[in-house]
A and B are shown apart, each in its own frame.
Chain A
Amino acid sequence: MSSSRRALGLLIVTGLGLSVAACGSTAEQPAPAASAPGGSAKAAAPVTISVGCQPPKTNPLQRKDWDDDVAAFQKLHPHITIDSKDGFPCHDVKTYDAKLAGGQMEDVFYGYFGDVQTAIKAGQAADITAYADTITTLKDIDPSVMAAYTVDGKIYGVPRGNYKVGLVYNRKLFTQAGLDPNTPPKTWAEIREVAKKISALGPGYIGYGEYSAGNTGGWHFTQSIYGRGGAVVDETGKKAAFNTPEGKAVLQNLKDMRWTDNSMGTKQLYQWDDLMRLMGAGKMGMILGAPDVITELHDNRKAKYEDFGLAAFPEAKATLGGGDGYMFNPKATPEQIKAGLLWLDYYVLTPGRGQFDYARQKATGRAVGLPDNNVWGDSPTGQKLLELRKANSTLPTENFAAYVEGSADIPLKLEPPMNQQIFQILDTPMSAVLTRQDADIDQLLAEAEAKVNDVLSKAS
């Protein structure tokens, strides 16, 4: 064996060792040195913030909005450098909680409403009360939305969007089934009738779709029972409150639709992706969902906006609040929090600017008019937003009118504490009534109640 060969071996080995070491150090993510603002005398100390949920490259228009606004913002605030982090999707269920739990979130990180209370209680979000007035429209934000970010009077984040759950339906199938797509069902009885007619269109057509697996069944049970005026846990948050006539009505209705009407298809155990796929494929009539479902169907399932309509939640006494926003890493410094709030005020929370720059969206050929976001409710800021949206609308807004009008007065309700554990438990009654004709609703609810009480008693 020649020594040169041996030397080569050594070289490879050392190289390998080095690359392993290099891997280790990049994971540390040293804060990039902020470039000093050239010659600006009054510049505050430079601060760099990493911000999550930059639109992905696959969404070039939104990404350009963001990047343009980042540049404009940095010109306005030369001491701030924004380190945008894109993620697709911004909330990847597979990694989100791990990243959150691992403390690997950006300084200003994205999250769903459902994550917020969990993150706050686990100490994974910073208290920003002292700086919150950086947001100029703060006082106009819908209090029931702001409540999601508030614990004991302290603020831990700001909303980016919010919406109430309603009914998403396929207008094309309504027409095909001889129904009027402009008068969507308002009651559960009407939903049953419509679902029967759509299922009757032929094999493969499903009138009404519902989740029952992977914790999504429990999530939609929660939506349904809220709509009927029920609750999942009582006001103390320590006892299950769904073994009630409302809870029974939810399950009985699904059982009837699945087995008596046969209008929910044959396959069940659907999770989120399944219903999106089926709605996008155009053979499913209706699902419970918020306006973001239509965006998802258009953006990722190649469906057309005009094929879908949106109605208010049927017979709703309350509706589950959905939405998203930004929180702050507890490791962020006060300067970073202030800088982050300035950015959010600039891009996220001003009508006519950033994400609400409807004129720019229209000018670049994007869909405007989906009632997908109004964190300010009926306040003056909220009214201003509605006007701007209407003025730049490109979609048949009348398709969503039933939702906008019907939802206005429905109070928003947040997810219960220990949401995922409870949802997992509630998957069982949901999957039972949808897969077993002889499912005993009373027994299922009683068993789930005992399990949820057990979970809640251990949590406190």
Chain B
Amino acid sequence: MNVASVGRRPPSRRGREARRNLTAYGFLVAALICFGLFSWYPMVREVLLSLQENNFVDAPTWVGLDNFETVVEDPAFAQAWINTAAFTGLALLIGYVIPFCAAVILNELRHAKAYLRFVVYLPVMLPPAVSVLLFKWFYDPGPGLFNQILGFFHLPGLAWLDSTDTALISLVIVSTWMNLGSGTLIYLAALQTIPSELYEAAELDGAGMFKRIRHVTIPQTKLILLVMLLLQVIATMQVFIEPFMLTGGGPENATVTVAYLMYQYAFNFGNFGGGSAMGLMLMIVLIVFSAVYLRVSRENT
């Protein structure tokens, strides 16, 4: 690769460095502009909006913490946080474990691996609107698929989305199904980096499948498991599509989440200040959670 120097004075070291830095800065500037425009600016704007009464036409008025007061006093506010926490908790129990198990099983399989990987990833490729329609039918308390399956085993049918008791967990199931593919693929990639000698050694030591998973697989993928946990909590705390499209917050507010209420304020009630206040609260909760989580997990590793 000496083409550049042919018939030319080799550039001075400083010049070369400057040019290289220029390229680096060029790349950096593009990234900074993107982040600034689409990430940081909206965040700053949200903080400002949450302190304003703003219809985006007249000059905004500063209202201090009035917007926060409005949303905190909303009768659905407490319920929204409880629902969101419950959704996140249930999604951890169900949605965190299942993709990992799926990945472990897929990794063990000898045949039809590519096909199964495709099948597992398929729900991710379906547009949410399609998945939602599908589940509306699955969940029909009358002739829906799930109740027909239950009926086949002579089990009583459930009301699924149409009951305050089961609506939230039904949403968790949809959410898990829709996101299963991405998680599984990431775990699969992680599993493939585990050296097979470790399994062989474990096997020689007489470890069964569960012991191998416990003592080899999990420790070896700990880092990715920890990161995925954090990402999942951040994602599920912002759950919106599922209640928005499947239940409209019902029945009796049983599926109103923080993000759903935020949407209601901003886009249905025309109260952008209130919506921003909700969003800011959610952001602060997530930042605090992430900071604590990172500190704790770093201490443990």
Residues of A within 8 A of B (CB): 1-4, 6, 9-10, 13-14, 16-17, 20, 24, 93-94, 97-98, 100-103, 118, 122-124, 203-204, 212-217, 265-269, 271, 274, 330-331, 418, 420-421, 424-425, 427-428, 431-432, 434-436, 451, 454, 458
Q: Quick one: closest A residue to B263, CB to CB?
A: A94
Q: What's the minimum C-beta distance from A431 to chain B, rounded to whole angstroms?
A: 4
- Per the bound structure, the CA–CA distance linking A10 and B29 in Å amounts to 11
User: In the bound complex, do residue A420 and residue B264 qualify as a contact, i.e. CB atoms below 8 Å apart?
Assistant: yes
**Given A10-B23, A215-B248, A269-B250, are A420 and B33 also a contact pair (CB < 8 Å)?**
no
B19 within 8 A of A: yes
User: In the bound complex, do residue A9 and residue B268 qualify as a contact, i.e. CB atoms below 8 Å apart?
Assistant: no
- Per the bound structure, the CA–CA distance linking A3 and B9 in Å amounts to 13
What residues on A are CB-neighbors of B244 within 8 Å?
A: 214
What residues on B are CB-neighbors of A13 within 8 Å?
A: 23, 26-27, 29-30
User: In the bound complex, do residue B140 and residue A216 qualify as a contact, i.e. CB atoms below 8 Å apart?
Assistant: no
Q: What's the minimum C-beta distance from A22 to chain B, rounded to whole angstroms?
A: 12
What residues on A are CB-neighbors of B164 within 8 Å?
A: 435-436
User: In the bound complex, do residue A431 and residue B252 qualify as a contact, i.e. CB atoms below 8 Å apart?
Assistant: yes
- Binary interface profile of B, 255-284, with partner A (CB < 8 Å = 1, else 0)? 000000000101111101000000000000
Find residues 162-199 in chain B having any chain A CB closer than 8 Å to their own CB: 162-164
What residues on B are CB-neighbors of A97 within 8 Å?
A: 266-268, 270
User: In the bound complex, do residue B56 and residue A103 qualify as a contact, i.e. CB atoms below 8 Å apart?
Assistant: yes
User: In the bound complex, do residue A2 and residue B252 qualify as a contact, i.e. CB atoms below 8 Å apart?
Assistant: no
- Per the bound structure, the CA–CA distance linking A227 and B200 in Å amounts to 76
**Given A94-B267, A103-B56, are A6 and B248 also a contact pair (CB < 8 Å)?**
no
Between A and B, 29 residue pairs with Cβ closer than 8 Å are A9-B27, A13-B23, A13-B27, A17-B30, A20-B30, A93-B267, A97-B267, A97-B268, A101-B55, A102-B56, A103-B55, A123-B57, A212-B250, A213-B249, A214-B244, A216-B248, A265-B142, A266-B143, A267-B140, A269-B246, A274-B136, A418-B269, A420-B270, A424-B264, A425-B75, A427-B248, A427-B253, A428-B253, A434-B251
User: In the bound complex, do residue B268 and residue A420 qualify as a contact, i.e. CB atoms below 8 Å apart?
Assistant: yes
User: In the bound complex, do residue B4 and residue A269 qualify as a contact, i.e. CB atoms below 8 Å apart?
Assistant: no
Q: Quick one: closest A residue to B144, CB to CB?
A: A267
**Given A97-B267, A431-B250, are A6 and B19 also a contact pair (CB < 8 Å)?**
yes
Partner of A213 from the list B1, B26, B33, B247 (CB cut-off 8 Å) is: B247
A-B contact count (CB 8 A): 147
User: In the bound complex, do residue A2 and residue B1 qualify as a contact, i.e. CB atoms below 8 Å apart?
Assistant: yes
Candidate in A2, A9, A20, A269 with the most chain B CB atoms within 10 angstroms = A269
- Per the bound structure, the CA–CA distance linking A38 and B126 in Å amounts to 54
User: In the bound complex, do residue B33 and residue A20 qualify as a contact, i.e. CB atoms below 8 Å apart?
Assistant: yes
- Per the bound structure, the CA–CA distance linking A265 and B283 in Å amounts to 41
- Per the bound structure, the CA–CA distance linking A123 and B3 in Å amounts to 67
Q: What's the minimum C-beta distance from A222 to chain B, rounded to whole angstroms?
A: 15
What residues on A are CB-neighbors of B247 within 8 Å?
A: 213, 269
Residues of B within 8 A of A (CB): 1, 3-4, 19-20, 22-23, 26-27, 29-30, 33-34, 37, 55-58, 70, 73, 75-76, 136, 139-144, 159, 161-164, 244, 246-253, 264, 266-270, 272
Question: Which 5 A-B pairs rank lowest in CB-CB distance, beginning with the nearest?
Answer: A214-B248, A213-B248, A266-B142, A13-B26, A431-B251
Candidate in B4, B29, B75 with the most chain A CB atoms within 10 angstroms = B75
User: In the bound complex, do residue B268 and residue A213 qualify as a contact, i.e. CB atoms below 8 Å apart?
Assistant: no
User: In the bound complex, do residue A432 and residue B252 qualify as a contact, i.e. CB atoms below 8 Å apart?
Assistant: yes
- Per the bound structure, the CA–CA distance linking A428 and B252 in Å amounts to 4
What residues on A are CB-neighbors of B57 within 8 Å?
A: 103, 122-124, 330-331
Q: A6-B20, A330-B57 are in contact. List 6 more A-B contacts (CB 8 A).
A: A13-B26, A20-B34, A24-B37, A97-B266, A97-B267, A212-B250
What residues on A are CB-neighbors of B163 within 8 Å?
A: 435-436
